Structure 1
Amino acid sequence: MNQLRIPNQRAVIDRRTVAGKIAALAANGPSAARSAIVAELKAALENGRAELDRRLIERPSAGHEITGGHAFLIDQLVRTIHDHVVADVYPAGNRSTGERLALMAVGGYGRSEMAPHSDVDIAFIHPTRHAPWCEQVIEAILYFLWDLGLKVGHSSRSMDEMIRLARADLTIRTALLEGRFVWGDRPLYDEATRRFTDEVVKGTEKQFVSEKLEERNARHKRMGDSRYVVEPNVKDGKGGLRDLQTLYWIGKYIYKVRTASELVEVGLFTAAEYRSFRRAEAFMLAVRCHLHTVTGRAEDRLTFDLQRAVAARMNFADRPGKSAVERFMQFYFLQAKRVGSLTGVFLAHIDEQFDRSRARRGFLASFTPRARSLKGYRVFGGRIAAPSDDWFRKDPVRLIELFQLAEANELEIHPETMRQAARDAGLLKGEVREDPRANAIFLEVLAGRNDPEGVLRWMNEAGVFGRFVPDFARVNAQMQFDMYHHYTVDEHTIRAIGLLNKIEKGELAGDHPRSTRLIHEVASRRAAYVAALLHDIAKGRGGDHSVLGGEVAEQLCPRFGLDEGETALVAWLVRQHLLMSRTAFKRDLTDPKTIEDFVAQVQGLERLRHLMLLTAVDIRAVGPGTWNSWKGQLLGELYDAAEERLRLGHMRQGRGQRVAAKKAAVAARLGERAGLLDRFAERFDDAYWIAEPEDIVALNLLQYAASEEDDEHLSVHCEVYPARGATLVTVIAADHPGLFYRIAGGIHLAGANIIDARIHTTRTGWAVDNFLVQDPHGAPFSEPAQIKRIEQSIGDALANRRALVPELARRPLPHSRARAFEVRPVVSFDNQASGRFTVIEVNARDRAALLNRLARALFESRLVVFSAHITNYGERAADTFYVTDLTGGKVTSPTRLKTIEAALLDAASDERQAELESA
């Protein structure tokens, strides 16, 4: 945005030398020498790029210098080519007034901001429409640029055409706004610039701002609508380069500034804000240059696999608790955050100026509404404003009060007041943080009834949040380098608080009916909000963030004004905030021992209610699609079982009573077919009746009867199961060793993911296996063709009509970017989690063949699998198996456990996957 003097320009390209060589070659005839001339230009381009790459390695954050250097390099090449074409290829000794040509750089090239593989955008301007000489010259210049391998965006227009099209098209208008003279007829360029200002810009300022903001909002929505998405687009993402450029375009269009620094002179930025603008811009331009260099193409998305490479090139190093890539991305998001706050201040100023300039008409033309006073603040037009420049310096607690009043009264904060708050946030020192009044006000914001999420986000943008709660500042803009978390820690936390508020207002009753009821039953709603704030507060410190976070909670809660009981509750919730999800998703909820162990840790109904609330908002705030009905169902089942145990002091029914009750419920569901119970009930053992819900038992019995009547050796039935947001796949077959891993392989080959599996064998030797499956997007398989594919694939796998191992190995990873992460497989055994089974948990890189390979390893280890519970966390899979040995007992021998662990690690390893893929 500012013209830069490129140091040691001749090391990048020496135009005189290059032009001299081309003139010498052209002396032998430009046509004959063309290939040699192209080779000379290409060498100059490659040498220039190599020099700029070397400078980027030496000064990895010098974004302005490097992008300016690439624009300079293209300038010199374009000038050299133009002069060669005009002098040697199409010389015109006595040109007419129509045979004039101006070359204008537009877009990023016009701003002198070019990454190594940016497009070269050139506007060729000539006086009249029909100018054959101009057309010949333009065509020749373009062919030279194309021969150099450059991607050229170009337009060739007469002056009148340029003006007409700019009036009609926002994109053309924006490109010309950044126009910069490169070469050719300077008076023609000056005339074009004057006419553009007088005939296009004048009088259309408000329309341009409105259209530009609409364009910006649409772009944000397309790119994820958050500046904290963990794979940001450096150019087009929220808080990225395009947002900075939009500020410049608007400022230039309205105030006719030529450089970004002039935005200070016209009062849109303070000098300090402009320095922030330049720092953020320099960093992001540098990141973009590194992306282009690493990939060898115009790549603007900072994907997981590129983040490590760019972090290394920019000299970020590991620190305790934080990897180099996490430190690099935290710095990136801090810049994006700064861009966001600058954008807010800038646009609000523009908006206010337009409001002031809007002429009043009619009877009320002379009437000016008066501002009202609210605790000393001015409130006008739905905005709250500080009454004086020293307002916060007089009483720093007002920095918190401002946001509390905005939240409680549903007001926006005046841009000048936001600017003051950001400037004065440093006043929030030790004595203010300990002030009981300040903490009481902060708690009102945090647990606000209207929109705590939006107001806390403003508070974060202004830097007030992190100054008042320094522990929160430590997770500000901090990313978690995995594919599970979609947002930075601070954004995830603020979203969780917002979700809690929506649940309290009843806005999410459809997805969270239990939580919507519970939030009105808890003894302390403010404890729920503080727990949401603190649950991830210790991430990035090294060690277990839950344990460390509990220590932070014990220090902060009394400061916030929570009593001893609330403090103990919040500290426990922070320490145990993963307990409920781990139990629900990784353990068998029909096993009484699972519930007993969970209740032993929870110990009370108030804790249970709060834990349910925190678990729900924590999962949902991870990102879009993370919450689904399957997770809701499992958490609900765990909550209900634990609540019953806590209320009664024991489970309502013993094993025999539970089986009898289940059979009675199934009989009622079967209605006229209840006689099936008399025929088949005794073939299934008690474990089956306890494990399966009554609706699934009813379906199983109907299918079992049909397969027996038809004398089928294999029966596969698929049915959408809305309660779990999945498709139920039931396989009934003669039981034989290896059945489970073959069925799993068949399901995976059909493109389905298994999320839960229960394996049963009747007393007559038939397997009745129930699987819950989803498509790769977490939705049920519902199309007839999809269901047919699953049934066919299972049949082929069990009949050995398909080679499972090589076909599964060739299936792509569910997320191709998963290879960017190092996931070391880990196997753990637990003989205390169940009364009957050994529980085996395997954590490994997620892939289509994983469950099949693990199940095969268990089969080859002579183990019987009774249930499997599959959970995915982005690139990681956590698969839990309830197993016994062939005699029905637990596996306890250390030697045997060691052997099983080795087999499972081998099955889960990347090396094993590579071997299978190459087989």
Structure 2
Amino acid sequence: MRITTEDEALVGRLKGEISQIEDYYWNGLPIDKLLAILTKAIDRAIKSLWAEVFGDEREISLFAIGGYGRGEMFPRSDIDLLILTEDTSHWRPQIEDFIQRIYNFNFEIGHSVRTIEECVTEMKNDISVETAVMERRYLAGSKDVSSHLSERLGRELISEDDDYFDLKEVEQNNRHKQFQNVDYGLEPNIKNSPGGLRDIHTIMWIALKRHKTVSKKELVNLGILTGTESRLLATAEKFLRHARFGLHLISKNKEDRLRFMYQRELSAKLGYVGSAGRPDVERFMQKYYRHVLAIQEINTIVIQSFRENLSKVSEPQSKLNPRFNLVGNYIEVARESIFRETPSALIEIFVIMAKRRDIVGVNSSTIRLIKESVSLIDEDFRNDRKIVS
């Protein structure tokens, strides 16, 4: 792998910037700023190298995709790139030189080189490619090529919204099965375990496909999230991102699993210290699990909401009793005021579900009403024999 004098200087500057970012982390700089600073540092290095290799050529474009495309660069994250040109064979020598020299940055590199037609075809064949291209971020090269891609995607049906949703739900379910065993429960994967960062990504990918936005504020306006859910999700995401950033630093590797030894070291360095100056691992992990539980609950509700809204078939509705209806195989309240009018309905809904095997779940709006109505379970509620008997 060749390295020029210019490359050595570029790598030296990048290493110095990353070292400074590590100091920023341990000195308490907010995680959003850390991710942005690291992403911009890598952007500068890549753009500088691109300019050296390709000059001001107007027939080829470079995009950041994946976590790098989202601006979520962690210390040991991969750098994922998409190179777009209508003449891949002509540019092959320069592309190979460019990619080889990026490896000097000491990051794992993932890259693809495609024409616009190949890009569209791959998006139709592979949901992961569709997702990556949807959240692409322009870095360098021809803006005309970038515009042509956007125009083509604007008039091309890559996949139906409901097909994309179904595939993403299956993808999430398979991931949960892989990462929800006992070992991963005690040493969870911050990115991939149930309630991890990938569960947030899944919600946002479906929202991007369906509503063309990942802004939590806009999703609240669209009714996809409630204001409370948006705040809980933002807080949980901030905590997990911060923990993942620190985990990459102390492991000096692309390590996303909170192993016991890292739990101790990270909790101590982040100020979770108990009596006698010992790391308060328990408090750190309790906070972790609270945020993970919040993400799991919100993910469940939002996925269910997407499922209801994307259904092409009008589900048959039947009345179970004056308080509940059955829509398809999901139970829902007859009206929003049911739990305020009849607090015992908070218990009744689960009794009905236990007796009816054809009911597979609760409507998303009803789940939200149940969560909002928990305060109705007070001392009088608990002492009411009609309810508890």
The answer to whether the aligner puts 1:194 opposite 2:162 as a matched pair is: no
2:60/2:141 contact within 8 Å kept: yes
Q: Do the aligned partners of residues 220 and 399 (structure 1) sit closer, same or farther apart at CA in structure 2, a change above 3 Å counting?
A: same
Structure 1 residues 424 and 59: CA distance shift in structure 2, 3 A: farther
> 2:5 aligns to what?
36
Q: How far apart in 2 are the matches of 1:136 and 1:396? A: 71
Aligned to 1:419: 368
CA distance in 2: counterparts of 1:436 and 1:323, whole angstroms: 47
Tell me the CA shift for residue 388 of structure 1: 2.4
CA deviation after TM superposition for structure 1 residue 390, in Å:
2.7
How far off is 1:258 after superposition? 4.7
> Would you say 1:63 and 2:18 are equivalent positions?
no
Q: Compared with structure 1, are the counterparts of its residues 250 and 197 closer, same or farther at alpha carbon in structure 2 (3 Å cutoff)?
A: farther
User: Structure 1 residues 438 and 225 mapped into 2: Cα distance closer, same or farther (>3 Å)?
Assistant: farther
CA distance in 2, matches of 1:404, 1:227: 34
Aligned counterparts of 1:101 and 1:258: Cα–Cα separation in 2 = 28
**Could you tell me the TM-score, scaled by structure 2's length?**
0.90
Alignment of structure 1 residues 479-878 onto 2, 5 Å:
none
CA distance in 2, matches of 1:64, 1:437: 51
CA shift for structure 1 position 319: 7.2
CA distance in 2 between counterparts of 1:279 and 1:392 reads 29
Secondary structure of residue in 1 paired with 2:82 = strand
* 8 Å CA contact 1:377, 1:387 repeated in 2: yes
Corresponding residue of 2:76: 117
Correspondence for 2:224: 268
Q: TM-score, normalised by structure 1?
A: 0.40
Structure 2 counterpart of 1:268, one-letter code: I
Deviation at 1:380, TM superposition (A): 2.6
User: Is the contact between residue 227 and residue 337 of structure 1 (CA under 8 Å) also seen in structure 2?
Assistant: no
1:75 alignment partner, one of 23, 29, 43: 43
Encode CA deviations 1:21-52: one digit per residue, 9 max, x unaligned. Answer: xxxxxxxxxx9xx6332222122212221222
Deviations 1:758-803 (A, max 9, x none): xxxxxxxxxxxxxxxxxxxxxxxxxxxxxxxxxxxxxxxxxxxxxx
Partner of 1:398: 345
Distance 2:144 2:351 in 1: 58
Once the two structures are TM-superposed, the CA of residue 226 in structure 1 deviates from its matched residue by: 7.7
User: 1:81 & 1:260 partners in 2: Cα distance?
Assistant: 35
Query: Secondary structure at 1:374's aligned position in 2?
Result: coil
Paired residue type of 1:271: G
Q: Which amino acid aligns with 2:197?
A: L
Relative to structure 1, is the Cα distance of residues 424 and 156 closer, same or farther in structure 2, using a 3 angstrom cutoff? same
String of CA shifts for 1:398-457, please: whole Å, max 9, x gaps. Answer: 3333333322334321111101111232333444344444443xxxxxxxxxxxxxxxxx
Alignment partners' CA distance in 2, 1:71 and 1:129 = 27
Tell me the residue number matched to 1:350: 306
In structure 2, do the counterparts of structure 1 residues 398 and 315 end up closer, same or farther at CA, with 3 Å as the change threshold? Answer: farther
Higher helix share: 2
Equivalent position of 1:106 in the other structure: 65
**Structure 2 letter corresponding to 1:424:** S
Contact 2:264 2:279 in 1 (8 A): no
Confirm or deny: 8 A CA contact 2:207 2:214 kept in the other structure: no
The verdict on how the C-alpha distance between 1:334 and 1:197 changes in structure 2, with shifts beyond 3 A counting, is farther
Q: CA deviation at 1:225?
A: 5.5
Instruction: Map Cα deviations across residues 814-844 of structure 1 (whole Å, 9 max, x no partner).
Output: xxxxxxxxxxxxxxxxxxxxxxxxxxxxxxx
1:291 equivalenced with 2:238 (yes/no):
no
Alpha-carbon separation, structure 2, partners of 1:369 and 1:338: 32
How far apart are 1:209 and its partner, in Å?
A: 1.3
1:158 pairs with one of 115, 128, 153: 115
Distance in 2 separating the partners of 1:260 and 1:156: 32
CA shift at 1:199, angstroms? 2.1
Looking at structure 2, the residues matched to 346 and 194 of structure 1 have their Cα atoms a distance apart, in angstroms, of: 30
Amino acid at match of 1:127: E
RMSD across aligned positions (CA): 2.6
Does the 8 A contact of 2:88 with 2:113 survive in 1? Answer: no
* Residue aligned with 2:265, SS: helix
Q: 1:69 to 1:238 in 2, by over 3 A?
A: same
1:105 alignment partner, SS class: strand
Alignment partners' CA distance in 2, 1:328 and 1:404: 37
- Residue number in structure 1 paired with 2:201: 245
* Gap change, CA 1:384 and 1:225, over 3 Å in 2: farther
Deviation at 1:384, TM superposition (A): 1.9
Map 1:210-221; keep pairs closer than 5 Å. 210-221=166-177
Q: Are 1:308 and 2:264 matched, yes or no?
A: yes
1:157 Cα deviation after fit: 1.0
Aligned residue in 1 for 2:325 = 378
Of the candidates 170, 182, 187, which is equivalent to residue 139 of structure 2?
Answer: 182
Contact 2:317 2:326 (8 Å CA) reproduced: no
1:883 alignment partner in structure 2: none
Once residues 137 and 383 of structure 2 are traced to their aligned partners in structure 1, the CA distance between those partners, rounded to angstroms, is: 55
What residue is the counterpart of 1:126 in the other structure?
85
Contact residue 317 and residue 325 of structure 2 kept, 8 A: no
Return the offset for 1:102.
1.3
Aligned partners of 2:339 and 2:346 also within 8 Å: yes
- 1:228 is displaced (CA, Å) by 7.6
Equivalent residue of 2:138, what SS? Answer: strand
Asked if 1 retains the 8 angstrom alpha-carbon contact of 2:196 and 2:295, the reply is: yes
d(CA) in 2 for partners of 1:52 and 1:231? 27
Q: Give yes or no for contact 2:323–2:335 (8 Å, CA) kept in 1.
A: no
In structure 2, the residue matched to 1:139 is 96
Pairs aligned (count): 385
Cα distance in 2 between the residues matched to 1:55 and 1:200? 44
Residue segments in structure 2 that go unaligned for 5+ positions in a row: none
Q: Distance in 2 between matches of 1:159 and 1:153?
A: 19
- Alpha carbons of structure 1 residues 77 and 188: separation in structure 2 relative to 1, 3 Å: same
Residue type of the alignment partner of 2:137: R
Amino acid at match of 1:77: A
Conservation of the 8 A alpha-carbon contact between 2:35 and 2:72: yes
2:33 partner amino acid? E
- Specify the structure having the higher radius of gyration (Cα): 1
Deviation at 1:227, TM superposition (A): 11
Cα–Cα, structure 1 residues 49 and 102, in superposed 2: closer, same or farther, change >3 Å?
same
Percent identity reads: 25
Task: State how far apart, in whole Å, the 2-side matches of 1:103 and 1:115 are.
Answer: 21
Higher RCO structure (Cα 8 Å, ≥6 apart): 2
| CA distance in structure 1 between the aligned counterparts of 2:24 and 2:334, rounded to whole angstroms | 50
User: Match for 1:329: what amino acid?
Assistant: M
Residue 233 of structure 1: which of 162, 181, 189 is its match?
A: 189
2:334 aligned counterpart, secondary structure: coil
Whole-Å separation in 2 of the counterparts to 1:228 and 1:49: 30
* Residues 228 and 184 of structure 1, relative CA distance in 2, 3 Å threshold: same
Residue in 2 aligned with 1:531? none
Query: 1:295 and 1:333 mapped to 2: Cα distance?
Result: 21
Deviations 1:281-339 (A, max 9, x none): 1111111111100010100111111111121233223379x971111111111111111
- For structure 1, the 5+ residue unaligned runs are 1-30, 361-367, 441-919
Q: SS at the partner of 1:229? A: helix
User: Structure 1 residue 142: deviation in Å?
Assistant: 1.6
**What are the superposed Cα offsets for residues 722-776 of structure 1, whole Å, 9 maximum, x if unpaired?**
xxxxxxxxxxxxxxxxxxxxxxxxxxxxxxxxxxxxxxxxxxxxxxxxxxxxxxx
Give the whole-Å Cα distance in 1 for the aligned partners of 2:290 and 2:129. Answer: 32
In 1, Cα distance between equivalents of 2:279 and 2:382 = 30
| CA gap 1:176/1:52 in 2 versus in 1, 3 angstroms | same
Per-residue deviation, residues 173-199 of structure 1 (Å, max 9, x unmatched): 221122111222223213213323432
SS where residue 104 of structure 1 aligns?
strand
